[in-house]
Structure 1
């Protein structure tokens, strides 16, 4: 005992100067006005009213009338000082709070346990990530902003005290009650995070509360069920557990919550810390110099309530030095015990005055001297703000941590070499993660009930993403692997490259007996929607990897570990404001799209907008057909018509130009000797692809194959069954003669040139280039674009002839053909000339979805770079994105369409002259603007059911949407 007292005295002396420099954190800016108000209220109170101020009582806005009546009684009869809310809803809470405040003579001090914001308590979802997640973030400005925005939530709801931040240093992986609530195990990191959080929240006018003093981090017991023991010596506690408090107290910490803990080295009597004068007064108040409010933890908790008889615990807590009694087992009895002790001389007036006046100071500081009820208008919207969604995204982007990454497997590159499967483990949903993965390349969800079945199904895959998904409902939910899951994990890792992504707290990795065969391990911390989305984006290199572990994990990983990866410029997905766009203005697009659909301009639409490499608008509208029930979804594919020119033929030509096989001045006679004696012999690629070569715009090749009498496909050219002689499938059960593509090429070669040299759009260049490219490689165009571009880009929804590859349910039909094929064109290319080339045209034939088209356009926008690969040199992109005949009134680039030179043209007239794109006959449109870094993709089937119906063009729907996009720019 003598040694203990000596250490305490020494500690007190050594920090005496420290304590003398601490300012009163409850002091308002108007300190004179505050003191006047506090003295006036205090002097007007009876003894019972003063003691009543010491109590904060738990309230739930969804409680029954009997429970509410009890609270009303405590306010009216016992003059309690405050309420602590939990559970319910925001509007209910605000209404109840206004009602209860109106009953109180002195406005009530309102508190909440809103460690992660208010939404968990109010709407069953967390507003912000857990502290363990925040602990992985290196940028403490983000933590400060989190505290500020949580403070704004609290203030809006009439909450004055948030019982946060938790400053417990969690050095025990088995801690059942702290865990995810702690910023981690490193005292400096915890302190910096807590300080930033406190600073942000208090800047919003809401008072912070550091808990649980002296430190609840290193215990494997739950203080709700028992009295945990912190069994360390004073030196250890002083250097670890008390460390954050020392720092925060000097920076204006408003309050501290004292835990229900047994700390023998600080309180040898066995009293809980909440009832210990040594801990609460001698150490916290005198040694550390803390002058703010001191709260007990809930007095109904096992460790406290079981220690003394009812009511006596309240008195013991007050005598120990606490100012506020939280959630007393019996407020009336507790108050009577304190009054009795006061009357008996056990409690002095000075002692009572100290606590009550601190409570009143806090009330003044939060504005209760001028109390106003909580406004109910727009309350839910004010608690679910866009800025909160943005911050949540930023927090997860900065937190997700790569802890192992052999051979730099993450981010996934060379997608053309990857066959990827996703295997879900855990008992919670992982569909958001899977769907986000699918945005980047083909990923199959593999399920099985038995290990052998799973292994068999995985044989065709070389890369497996395993996601462990457990409930995000509460930070205390189970998070471990099951024994079966561990067995399956080890077996998969034995034969495959594995990316293990755990959407739980990092301690789960302690379950692993070995990590030898697991190439990459990602810790995503939580299973929220945003965590799943951002983790998938990180795996594919759309965002940087920035996080570091806030805790150590067994022998594998140490606190601070984290592999930093730079993004490889794949598209990511976010909200408009993060790239300088106004989401409210972008919503105007919805109205215009619905106008188009309701006006029968097209049955459905896919629409995507990206800026600065981030997709900010990606929606599907309408149905596949007007009369059908199939709604348009993200992964449906459209016939993109002439977008094929810039999505397929042009990049293959650009590649050949870059390799020196051709130049823009190369003549047709050089690339196709058959043209030497033709009238097109001297036409250059530059002129031809600029639509400035006197070529006919179009030829109805199909018309030459119709019966002159019936106007239906002639038996001379068609059969209803495939054979060697008739093997070009132009539609279902309709096969064109195999040699007819040669006839098409001859018709083009022998066609007359237009009389006048002027801009005239023509499909002919792409028939010609298809023949050249296929001759050069001795492979078909569909094979070439897949191997050269689409597979590595992850454009797995982009293809020719989709009816061979995917379900017709995922293909949007284009027309009910009553002039050539006499059937619904569904899965087959709409363009007749492309159909007559077995669906593989240089000018048409590609099917895709908006997301894939955006990838290709983004690659162009990024000067040929995408996903870690340089497809083209920047100068190649510039060369083709140049208008060489603008001085002749021709706006076109090489293959690319360009903005109009006068009033009429392909754009809204609001894009930069450096922008480029193309449109398609079926109603499609893709445009990229390097100056504003915008990609805009519009896919439709305006040709359904009849192609002559073109209100979409007449009403300028696509370009009017483009105008709305530019009007939404706010930076």
Structure 2
């Protein structure tokens, strides 16, 4: 165990802790409600107590994770008050974290500044912009009392059918993902004073199964892992990332037992600790996810995770059973208290390094000044504009010509926002929301609108996955003049223009991304992004290679 004799604060804290105190430090959990003293029936059902503060006190939690759906992130001032209330309920300062990855996974919504996701940021091919985006994100989180961001995603997305990572990844090239991960960590930790957590070790980038719903199996060889998955995590370790989050996935080449990595000693201790030399805090992904619960009950999952080398159990599905199982494991000798102490010390040292043992309360005036400032919104708009990628424009359809425009697409919000921008610029716009899976009637209606317009813009949303979206595109292109496309979620829709056409990639459908798209359509700005991934299901023969994109001279 780490010698704490020269660290009197840590040594004194550890000496005064009972076993329940220690186990509590190894558990970070969600709480339900928008205020620390607010009763919520969901807390009673899961924890046996009423308020978020009661949950923290009962389990002596080491940390808390915020979610919008749990009522934790209604607005910045409310988040700040919740953070203060939870810290007041804990004898030792809490690590309060959330998933503010940027892009589609962002638990703190507007007015907080919304940045493009990882893949979009990588499309700008500018590490300074990535660092700046995470710096601003970290500063805004810190203002509301959140001291840990469970980001960045360090997975290399080499499988475009990946249902859970996709645009959350920085791309398909390990060295590029590694550089982007280091920039994100610098923005969060060095610039904003946050705790960052690189995820999901040993790599979740090549799977067709969502670990929220099942246990994925990664079929990479050890050589594949070394050359693809490991590199960003190796870079994160070298950059001093404070936490690494485990993935609930089976990786037979690394551990033939079939256990998820979260419960694998060969992976977490053998590879992460000993081979990569990581000395920071290892935290699990949420233990409510099905991927880690398929083989063992919730108590056994907690014990096996600690045996594997985990320091922090994130959201045990049954917290009472987890604590009971860990207590029994220590009593029986299956786990030693020394092993528990090793993880407690890592958590306490992290809190000490980041000034969390006795955290300062949030200040309303600082929240107002920091979160969603005019300057930050302007930087988000500029950074987002730098990510847009014109993957093909055979007939030079962008910017749109003056005249009538038919605007079709899968997403109602996107169609509404783009239509409003085009109309504000004086264009005559007819619009139709077709949904993700347009039926024959909608496709026929789209054809009629497109035939009557001088130019058509089709907005796709993961159209490469949906047969009916592809049918819509083909049917409209058969009969309409000047058809261009905008892919608002995944860049893999670029496959729809392999044989020719015009397509702009935005990587997301956030308001700031849609405004940037409108600027390109109207000729106010030229897109300068380039693909951060190879598009095509055969990586050896991609339809569009990494780095593809039409940029101004």
Indicate the TM-score class for this superposition, using the shorter chain for normalisation. Answer: 0.7 to 0.9
In the alignment, which residue of structure 2 is the partner of 1:498?
A: 483
Q: Is residue 115 of structure 2 the alignment partner of residue 128 of structure 1?
A: yes
Q: Is residue 22 of structure 2 the alignment partner of residue 50 of structure 1?
A: yes
In the TM superposition, residue 455 of structure 1 has moved relative to its aligned partner by 5.0
In the TM superposition, residue 460 of structure 1 has moved relative to its aligned partner by 6.0
* Cα distance in 2 between the residues matched to 1:397 and 1:84: 31
Summarize the Cα distance change of 1:313–1:444 in structure 2 as closer, same or farther, 3 Å threshold: closer
In the alignment, which residue of structure 1 is the partner of 2:408?
A: 424
In the TM superposition, residue 149 of structure 1 has moved relative to its aligned partner by 0.9
In the alignment, which residue of structure 2 is the partner of 1:486?
A: 470
Choose which of 149, 154, 163 in structure 2 pairs with 1:167: 154
Summarize the Cα distance change of 1:480–1:85 in structure 2 as closer, same or farther, 3 Å threshold: same
In the alignment, which residue of structure 1 is the partner of 2:62?
A: 81
Unaligned runs of 5+ in 1: 1-25, 471-477, 567-971
**Conserved 8 A contact 1:110-1:158:** yes
Summarize the Cα distance change of 1:291–1:466 in structure 2 as closer, same or farther, 3 Å threshold: same
In the alignment, which residue of structure 1 is the partner of 2:436?
A: none
Q: Secondary structure at the match of 1:548?
A: coil
Summarize the Cα distance change of 1:281–1:551 in structure 2 as closer, same or farther, 3 Å threshold: same
Q: Secondary structure at the match of 1:533?
A: helix
Higher normalized contact order (CA 8 Å, seq sep 6+, divided by chain length): 2
Q: Secondary structure at the match of 1:323?
A: coil
**Conserved 8 A contact 2:26-2:61:** yes
Q: Is residue 294 of structure 2 the alignment partner of residue 294 of structure 1?
A: no
In the alignment, which residue of structure 1 is the partner of 2:458?
A: 466
In the alignment, which residue of structure 2 is the partner of 1:508?
A: 493
Choose which of 532, 540, 552 in structure 2 pairs with 1:550: 532
Q: Secondary structure at the match of 2:407?
A: strand
Q: Is residue 134 of structure 2 the alignment partner of residue 147 of structure 1?
A: yes
**Conserved 8 A contact 2:156-2:171:** yes
In the TM superposition, residue 360 of structure 1 has moved relative to its aligned partner by 0.5
* Cα distance in 1 between the residues matched to 2:30 and 2:195: 18
* Cα distance in 2 between the residues matched to 1:459 and 1:332: 63
**Conserved 8 A contact 1:61-1:86:** no
* Cα distance in 1 between the residues matched to 2:197 and 2:150: 5
Correspondences of 1:646-657 after superposition (within 5 Å): none
Q: Is residue 370 of structure 2 the alignment partner of residue 382 of structure 1?
A: yes
Summarize the Cα distance change of 1:292–1:407 in structure 2 as closer, same or farther, 3 Å threshold: same
In the alignment, which residue of structure 2 is the partner of 1:110?
A: 96
**Conserved 8 A contact 1:127-1:388:** no
In the alignment, which residue of structure 1 is the partner of 2:40?
A: 65
In the TM superposition, residue 369 of structure 1 has moved relative to its aligned partner by 3.3
In the TM superposition, residue 183 of structure 1 has moved relative to its aligned partner by 1.3
Q: Is residue 422 of structure 2 the alignment partner of residue 434 of structure 1?
A: no
Q: Is residue 329 of structure 2 the alignment partner of residue 341 of structure 1?
A: yes
Correspondences of 1:778-793 after superposition (within 5 Å): none
In the TM superposition, residue 119 of structure 1 has moved relative to its aligned partner by 9.8
Cα distance per residue 1:326-364 (max 9 Å; x no partner): 111233332333233333333334422221111011111
Cα distance per residue 1:771-815 (max 9 Å; x no partner): xxxxxxxxxxxxxxxxxxxxxxxxxxxxxxxxxxxxxxxxxxxxx
Choose which of 199, 205, 225 in structure 1 pairs with 2:186: 199
Q: Secondary structure at the match of 1:404?
A: strand
Choose which of 500, 512, 517 in structure 2 pairs with 1:535: 517
In the alignment, which residue of structure 2 is the partner of 1:410?
A: 398
* Cα distance in 2 between the residues matched to 1:151 and 1:393: 17
* Cα distance in 1 between the residues matched to 2:91 and 2:447: 70
In the alignment, which residue of structure 2 is the partner of 1:96?
A: 82
* Cα distance in 2 between the residues matched to 1:268 and 1:169: 22
* Cα distance in 2 between the residues matched to 1:134 and 1:249: 22
Summarize the Cα distance change of 1:283–1:456 in structure 2 as closer, same or farther, 3 Å threshold: closer
Q: Is residue 306 of structure 2 the alignment partner of residue 318 of structure 1?
A: yes
* CA-based RMSD: 2.9
Q: Aligned pairs, how many?
A: 522
* Cα distance in 2 between the residues matched to 1:500 and 1:258: 38
Summarize the Cα distance change of 1:74–1:487 in structure 2 as closer, same or farther, 3 Å threshold: closer
In the alignment, which residue of structure 2 is the partner of 1:251?
A: 239
Q: Which segment is superposed worse, 54-63 or 185-194?
A: 54-63
Summarize the Cα distance change of 1:444–1:289 in structure 2 as closer, same or farther, 3 Å threshold: same
In the alignment, which residue of structure 2 is the partner of 1:565?
A: 552
* Cα distance in 1 between the residues matched to 2:15 and 2:269: 26
In the alignment, which residue of structure 2 is the partner of 1:210?
A: 198
In the TM superposition, residue 516 of structure 1 has moved relative to its aligned partner by 3.5
**Conserved 8 A contact 2:143-2:366:** no
* Cα distance in 1 between the residues matched to 2:529 and 2:9: 48
Structure whose CA Rg is larger: 1
In the alignment, which residue of structure 2 is the partner of 1:796?
A: none
* Cα distance in 1 between the residues matched to 2:289 and 2:225: 23
In the TM superposition, residue 380 of structure 1 has moved relative to its aligned partner by 5.3
* Cα distance in 2 between the residues matched to 1:51 and 1:484: 52
In the TM superposition, residue 479 of structure 1 has moved relative to its aligned partner by 5.6
Q: Secondary structure at the match of 2:218?
A: coil
Q: Secondary structure at the match of 2:259?
A: coil
TM-score by length of 2: 0.87
Summarize the Cα distance change of 1:436–1:260 in structure 2 as closer, same or farther, 3 Å threshold: same
* Cα distance in 2 between the residues matched to 1:285 and 1:452: 59
In the TM superposition, residue 138 of structure 1 has moved relative to its aligned partner by 1.1
**Conserved 8 A contact 1:117-1:150:** no
**Conserved 8 A contact 1:133-1:399:** yes
Choose which of 264, 271, 289 in structure 1 pairs with 2:259: 271
* Cα distance in 2 between the residues matched to 1:480 and 1:118: 19
Summarize the Cα distance change of 1:425–1:354 in structure 2 as closer, same or farther, 3 Å threshold: same
**Conserved 8 A contact 1:262-1:271:** yes
Summarize the Cα distance change of 1:215–1:482 in structure 2 as closer, same or farther, 3 Å threshold: closer
In the alignment, which residue of structure 2 is the partner of 1:909?
A: none
Summarize the Cα distance change of 1:309–1:403 in structure 2 as closer, same or farther, 3 Å threshold: same
* Cα distance in 1 between the residues matched to 2:252 and 2:318: 28
Cα distance per residue 1:238-260 (max 9 Å; x no partner): 11011101111111111101111
